[in-house]
Amino acid sequence: MNNLDEIKRPSKEEQKAAMESYDALAATLDQIHSEYPEIEIEETNERIKIPLSALRLLAKILKETSQGKPISIVPVATEITTQAAAEMLGCSRPHLVKLLEKGEINFTKIGKHRRIQYQDLIDYRKKMKAEQRKLLTEIMKADEEAGLYDT
Interstrand relation of 38-41 and 46-49 (parallel, antiparallel or unpaired) = antiparallel
What are the tens digits of pLDDT across the range 66-116?
999 988 887 778 899 999 999 999 999 999 999 999 999 999 999 999 999
Q: What is the DSSP string of 6-48?
A: G--PPPHHHHHHHHHHHHHHHHHHTT---SS-EEEETTTTEEE
Residues 2-13: tens digit of each pLDDT: 445 567 889 999
From the CB of residue 61, how many other CB atoms can be counted at a distance below 10 Å? 17
pTM of the entire predicted model: 0.57
